[in-house]
Chain A
């Protein structure tokens, strides 16, 4: 792990999850619309690029295989049929797992061998050809622009070209017309022409002008060809060719010489290669100046070939030799063609083709990566190791594998055992095939910096024999480490499966949620600080003290009388203090207003579109529909409604449950639907709406509706209802029976739903969010479940305690610490219970007593459980019977009458459905203060 990787990590993570989400959505998109192949391809492509960049080859290999599968689809050679979609979905799942692995370990996951095989097999299977994808319509604007420009260029281009090649400033007579050409160019969307002409007119050095002119001519002749218009390059060529032919010939000769001296080994040919390259580049420019577009195309292809070779993009071999041969002969051949004035276009075309073929056959790029990935997957070899091997090394590797030789990687410590290493390498070379080597800079296990060289070799020996040979050179294996790469089933990409995470997909700005949370916390701290400041301002009563000073001032009894002038001075000082205090108080009240607005705005930052939840539904509907034989058209509405980020995770579960339930119980199979006179394809609508501060989420199906008689029978059978009660139930009450714990009407308990914990779990979850759930249903026409949720749920961490036999929650932000004290630590000072905590006295209060349970018997265990609370100024300890946990709860507003009760701040529903009171801390402090026998026992914190 290095700095750069750290820096790019968040972007990598975000991009991966964004692409995966987009892929999922595209594959199982809303309403079964045909996915956009190009988009789909691009998502996999981007994913592959990211993985490649971060060095996660095995993950990249999966994305790559998908990309390969989709390529024929987007070219219109294949349709995106169901087997293909299924395979891509399987790949998607695998990628998600791999991403989870990568996120956890920051290393490449194991190769997904089986999946890759499946994808490759599928690629080999020819499928029905799709229709030709229509090409995007050409933009007409550029053609029109060029049409306006062409006549002007015809008039002035030859002169401009000729003058540009002179080592003199452009003649004054040309300036005005050229400015006009530039203006027209600018007006007709041909900024490039304007810019290049401008530079030609002002270029400080005459030497830079050929370059600019070549560029200009090339662009213009390209447009001439594309738009079939004459813009003066032919006339220009006639003028320039005689001037340039000699230097072209000269360069061609130089190139031939340079290439002849070029050995095939790129490393040693570095300088010669660079020389040949720049000669070829010069030739390309000359060809452009002479407007020999075909010639320059051929030369440029050769130049590109040389560049690729230099960069290692081409594999050395016979193909490369041929390339060199062709390249060396090129300019001369082209020149001959010119002189004899035969139609050299055909010759250029065939030369170009030959070059392209040669380059394509030597290309390292994708083909090589594919081979590496396939080999890695098939033989369970490390991808990073194979990534070092070129095409010829891969050939050798494949041959060795075919001979069933043992593949071995030997790591040699270069600093301590250069000689021993050399000896062993000689031994390897003598008996087997050395496939490649790489340097190892960090130890795989310890992460320490090392200098090692690692060899990959194939040997016709058994592993035991190889180890013997190694022992011969390095008796106790100190300097060398050997590992056998082959054989054994590679562990499948076993990664924590778990729930797929919902990624953050924002359209405008991507901020890590941790950043927002930190920001929220910071604002919370600011609020606390403001409270401390306000406390200092008001509670400490500066004003009162000022008044006391004033009193003392006026009271002259028994003291040295102050002079009149002195008194006046002190009075002024006091008045000044009071004025400043007033200002501070004003500033404080404004600060409070600003802070509370800031707090609101910060909370708004945590808001995300509900599509984050909804995006998961299409996949579920598709998979389940297949499993249960349902044809479902899923319609999603209002997915732009925004909800609190924290609600996303909580909402997913109940919503998935409702959707599963609709498919399992509500919707019928196509046959049943046909029999009932309904369309075979069922409809499932999931929608969100915002009404005021309430979020409405609706799941509506057009299935069979709730079976009320069966619900009643089941409720009776399960003892949820007595026969007498059952008689008087309204239809609505009957429908709501399904939310009771332990109710399930499914005939069989299925995998999908109907575990008997279904609807009541949904209801509990929704209640926890401070919401409600309702159902309405018409027999034979379907059912609608409606969730009503507060749009901004306040989530708080609380310390859950037991006191006075009840569960109570204390907001965590007011809790300094939770401690356990031996009962002996309890003391009484002036009637106030307290304990010594780190040298300071901590007043203690029984929470139950504080809340008015006078009769609550304080627990007298061996240990006292104390929750230490602070309001930023004071600390008090609350004695509780037990500390139960630290859950995150949704705080619900409670009825104002209840809220008036001492100490009560709000209420929440716990995971088990029980209601818990959340205490109000400020209120608790007041209660404590009132109860305290003396203010002095409340000690200042720190």
Chain B
């Protein structure tokens, strides 16, 4: 067993598709910087898990039974300090759910992994997913510095 890196970001994956959960969790597990905190298969479960596991990042699907991603975002605002990244294919850039997700505090929105798996998963999608996760948690800059590194 690898010793836990205290700086690793703990990630909760919320998606009603077992397949997607598996894939996304696999991406998370592969990264040295991330740790899979848990998986939830709908919004209610995600809320409960978020409270219990206190993850740093939640990867959230929009279309889910019982409580969908948008409802979850509204509920999660006060309940969990985790940064929520929406991973969904229903929300295309500029669309209404896309805007709503941003307005509800999603820190980023990514499309679901798709296409030929080997290429996508290894190189592109997981790359942009991991980049998005790190981006959202890196403290941006000090006020005094006045500029970005």
- Interface of A with B (CB < 8 Å)? 2, 4-5, 8, 11-12, 14-15, 38-39, 41-42, 45-46, 48-50, 52-55, 136, 139, 142, 145-146, 165, 167, 189-193, 195-196, 199, 206-208, 210-212, 215, 218-219, 222-223, 226, 243-244, 246-247, 250-251, 254, 275, 278-279, 281-282, 285-286, 289, 297, 300-301, 304-305, 307-308, 311, 313-314, 356-367, 384, 387, 510
Can you name the residue of chain B whose Cβ is closest to the Cβ of A199?
B81
**Is B144 close to A, CB under 8 A?**
yes
Bound-complex Cα distance A212 to B121 (A): 32
Can you name the residue of chain A whose Cβ is closest to the Cβ of B118?
A2
Given contacts A211-B140, A311-B128, A196 and B115 within 8 Å (CB-CB): no
A360 adjacent to B17 (CB under 8 Å): no
Could you list 17 A-B pairs, sorted by A, with CB under 8 Å?
A11-B18, A11-B19, A42-B16, A45-B89, A49-B114, A52-B114, A52-B115, A53-B112, A55-B115, A146-B78, A223-B77, A226-B74, A246-B146, A251-B147, A360-B95, A361-B94, A364-B93
Tell me how many residue pairs across A and B have CB atoms closer than 8 Å. Answer: 195
B19 adjacent to A2 (CB under 8 Å): no
Residues from chain A with a CB closer than 8 A to the CB of B135 are: 281
Give the contacting residue for A48; candidates B51, B89, B116; CB below 8 A. B89
Give the contacting residue for A5; candidates B77, B93, B117; CB below 8 A. B117
- Interface of B with A (CB < 8 Å)? 16-20, 22-23, 26, 51, 54, 63-65, 71, 74-81, 89-90, 92-95, 99, 102-105, 108-118, 121-122, 128, 132, 135, 139-144, 146-149
B19 adjacent to A8 (CB under 8 Å): yes
A142 adjacent to B117 (CB under 8 Å): no
A304 adjacent to B93 (CB under 8 Å): yes
Given contacts A2-B117, A11-B18, A53-B20, A305 and B80 within 8 Å (CB-CB): no
Bound-complex Cα distance A5 to B110 (A): 22
Give the contacting residue for A360; candidates B93, B141, B144; CB below 8 A. B93
Given contacts A222-B105, A304-B108, A195 and B147 within 8 Å (CB-CB): no
Least CB distance, B65 to chain A, in whole angstroms: 6
Residues from chain B with a CB closer than 8 A to the CB of A212 are: 139
A210 adjacent to B93 (CB under 8 Å): no
B19 adjacent to A53 (CB under 8 Å): yes
Given contacts A48-B89, A357-B94, A192 and B80 within 8 Å (CB-CB): yes
Residues from chain A with a CB closer than 8 A to the CB of B146 are: 246-247, 250-251
Bound-complex Cα distance A504 to B26 (A): 24
Least CB distance, B18 to chain A, in whole angstroms: 5
Least CB distance, B26 to chain A, in whole angstroms: 7
Bound-complex Cα distance A836 to B71 (A): 77
Least CB distance, A476 to chain B, in whole angstroms: 32
A365 adjacent to B16 (CB under 8 Å): no
B95 adjacent to A8 (CB under 8 Å): no
A363 adjacent to B92 (CB under 8 Å): yes
Closest 6 CB pairs of A and B: A360-B94, A365-B92, A211-B139, A359-B94, A52-B114, A195-B81
Give the contacting residue for A304; candidates B92, B109, B147; CB below 8 A. B109
Give the contacting residue for B117; candidates A53, A281, A359; CB below 8 A. A53
A192 adjacent to B114 (CB under 8 Å): no
Given contacts A52-B114, A250-B147, A4 and B26 within 8 Å (CB-CB): yes
Give the contacting residue for B78; candidates A190, A289, A365; CB below 8 A. A190
Give the contacting residue for B93; candidates A50, A192, A247, A305; CB below 8 A. A305
A142 adjacent to B78 (CB under 8 Å): yes
B18 adjacent to A136 (CB under 8 Å): no
Given contacts A359-B93, A361-B94, A278 and B140 within 8 Å (CB-CB): yes
B93 adjacent to A314 (CB under 8 Å): yes
Residues from chain A with a CB closer than 8 A to the CB of B114 are: 49, 52-53, 55
B143 adjacent to A247 (CB under 8 Å): yes
B140 adjacent to A14 (CB under 8 Å): no
Can you name the residue of chain B whose Cβ is closest to the Cβ of A309?
B93
B54 adjacent to A195 (CB under 8 Å): yes
Bound-complex Cα distance A110 to B97 (A): 32
Give the contacting residue for A50; candidates B17, B71, B81, B139; CB below 8 A. B17
The CB with the most chain A CB atoms within 10 A, among B18, B22, B143, is that of B143
B117 adjacent to A219 (CB under 8 Å): no
Residues from chain A with a CB closer than 8 A to the CB of B71 are: 136
Residues from chain B with a CB closer than 8 A to the CB of A215 are: 81
Residues from chain A with a CB closer than 8 A to the CB of B65 are: 38-39, 42
Least CB distance, B63 to chain A, in whole angstroms: 5
Residues from chain A with a CB closer than 8 A to the CB of B90 are: 45, 366
Can you name the residue of chain B whose Cβ is closest to the Cβ of A314?
B93
Residues from chain A with a CB closer than 8 A to the CB of B149 are: 278
Give the contacting residue for A207; candidates B22, B74, B139; CB below 8 A. B139
A50 adjacent to B19 (CB under 8 Å): yes
Residues from chain A with a CB closer than 8 A to the CB of B18 are: 11, 14-15, 510
